Chains A and B, each alone.
Chain A
Amino acid sequence: MSATDLQNHPAARALAQRHRLRVWEGLPWLLALACYFAFPRYLGFGTEILITVLFAISLDLALGYAGIVTLGHAAFFGAGAYTVGMLAKNGIWTEPITGLLLGAAVAGLIGFLSGLVLLRTAGLTLLMLTLCFMGLLEESANMGADFTGGFDGLDSLPIKPIVGMFEFDVLYSKTQYLYVLAVLFVCFVFTRTLVYSPFGHSLTGIRENTLRMHAVGAPVERRLVICYTISAAIAGIAGALWAQANAYVNLSTLGLDRAATVLIILVLGGYGRLYGAFVGAFVYMMLEHFLSKLYPEAWQLGLGLLLVVIALFARGGILGIGEELRRRFRGWRNKP
């Protein structure tokens, strides 16, 4: 093969075009905008879903791409939420957009420092340590009642209008919805750029075979710490959005419940796929919403059954099912 043949080889072209935008990638954003006009009374719920999508994306970066197994990601969600909450409650900082950046910085710093220690381990040990670390933060928030409001949390947070013009909407969350959607979009574009970069490729390498990454000379631990820090900062933004949109913060932002839920959402949607976070958060929260109305006492049974099915038959989550179907359809069509 000549040099140009090699450049036009299907493998080289596939890799060179891997990051190109595909048409369907506009779909979730169009749907989210359509919902704004179609369901004006459910925008509070919609805001909650969008924030969960962002949180799940942050987890996808660490878990789905770099293979960092964590059960304590709410530590960073809570760190971002409490940063905004404590600053606002004490009247130190109430501007929302810079508030997000502060939340990201605090969560990122905590992620960096804990990552330096925790990421020396892997697997079950890492899972338990991340859980313990989150427990420490939760208990600190519980005990430091003078600053954090303890068990009751902090409510009626005064948050300034966005860019001085758009007041947060108490009744229907219209402003919150668009604000969160815009922040989600920016964070998503950043994360998407990151996972298709050489850095993101090397994270995939660490997930696929850590030993081999050492053997090709990659500074594995440094890469993991950087990834974990970025992931924590994005989770911190999600938490900060939550505190701003609801104008309160409480211990639920730091708990195992939230950390486990986001993990389930990511597995449900399909991890390591970017859009799994969207699908998972939407399906999970819709099911939760309607099942809990229909069967207030046993709604978790339905979710549990769905998860069992996913775990047994569709390791790639809902998106994985789609990929499998598409693959089979192509195979069937290409048959002579």
Chain B
Amino acid sequence: MTVLLETQSVSKNFGALRATREVSFKLEEGARHALIGPNGAGKTTFINLLTGVLPPNSGKVLLKDRDITQMAQAERVKLGIARTFQINRLFRGLSVLENVYMAVAERVGAAPKMLTPAGAQRDVIDESMQLLESLKLADIAHHTIVGLPYGRQRLVELAITLGLKPEVLLLDEPAAGVPSAESHIILDAIDALPKTIGVLIIDHDMDLVFRFAKRITVLVRGAIFAEGTPKEIGANPDVRAVYLGQATQHG
């Protein structure tokens, strides 16, 4: 298996707070990898280091053996790293289709065009519509984001990201805030992702994690605490003590 995305002892400090401590991590091609950990374990910080939102204090980030530590977020997107956000970050005043159009136009290089109408880019519109259809969003494609139910907004969040055709997909709590009656739509969408792309999912929802992941990394206080298959992690008494035990208590 080839390694897509890799970190080599990456650290990030916010003043005295060591949010990420010497994390060495590998995401392989076709991976279905989950990153779990208690609140404040540094999961989102780690995603921000991978995507280039934050620069690390030390260590390296590699994409297919290429050092991308200093690379800006937009450049990393061009190389195939895409993410969803824990809290929806959508173009709220625009329609669902226009939201996805934004990502597709950027990927195919149509976005800098100034003198032709956006509506004349039929290929971008068609691809966006097909993507919405595959996520069962086509029937609401003309709705403005404001006013859509939260679960649908989460799907649009995913649709925008898939419009970038990523090789590495980072999902930050994709089902957070979605009523359980709707969460299966998101799970189905994740199940249907192309097998070749490497997916890293962050979530608190243990059902989701154990259903989805082939491999799990446990992060505690910014450092890797354990890593293994779902079976190994589930059977690890230390993990149960620091994390799963808590989760069961809280229901």
A198 & B142 in contact (Cβ 8 Å cutoff): no
Q: Inside 8 A of A200's CB, which chain B residues have their CB?
A: 114, 118
- Whether B85 is near chain A, meaning CB under 8 Å from some CB there, is yes
Q: Which residues of A contact B53 (CB under 8 A)?
A: 214
Q: Which of A1-38 contact B (CB under 8 A)?
A: 1, 3, 6-7, 9-12, 14-19
- Interface-forming stretch among B55-63, B72-80, B217-225, B241-249? B72-80
Would B73 and A214 count as touching, CB distance under 8 A? yes
A309 to B95, CA, bound (A): 29
* Cβ B101 vs Cβ A201 within 8 A: yes
CB-based contact A198/B110 at 8 Å = yes
**Cα distance A267–B178 in the bound complex, in angstroms:** 37
Tell yes or no: B106 within 8 A of A by CB: yes
Bound-complex Cα distance A18 to B78 (A): 28
* Measured CA separation A36–B219 after assembly (Å): 73
For window 17-46 of B, CB contacts with A under 8 Å fall at none
Q: Which of B51, B120, B129, B133 has the most CB of A within 10 A?
A: B129
Instruction: Tell me the nearest residue of chain B to A193, going by C-beta.
Output: B115
Query: Would you call A12 and B78 a contact (CB within 8 A)?
Result: no
Number of interface residues of B (CB under 8 A): 52
Contacting residues of chain A (221-251) with chain B, CB-CB under 8 angstroms: 223
A212 and B112 in contact, given A10-B142, A14-B142 (Cβ under 8 angstroms): no
Cβ of B93 within 8 Å of any chain A Cβ, yes or no, is yes
Q: Which residues of A contact B94 (CB under 8 A)?
A: 204-205, 208
Contact between A11 and B96, CB atoms less than 8 A apart: yes
- List, sorted by A's number, 23 A–B pairs whose CB atoms are closer than 8 Å: A1-B138, A3-B130, A6-B126, A6-B130, A6-B138, A12-B97, A16-B125, A17-B119, A19-B119, A196-B117, A196-B119, A197-B114, A197-B117, A198-B112, A200-B118, A205-B94, A205-B102, A208-B92, A208-B94, A209-B92, A216-B160, A217-B77, A217-B106
Chain B residues near A (Cβ < 8 Å): 51, 53, 73-75, 77-78, 82-83, 85, 89-98, 101-103, 105-107, 110-122, 124-126, 129-130, 133, 138, 141-142, 160-161, 163-164
Q: A6-B129, A11-B142, A197-B117 are in contact. List 6 more A-B contacts (CB 8 A).
A: A18-B117, A193-B117, A196-B117, A209-B92, A215-B161, A216-B77
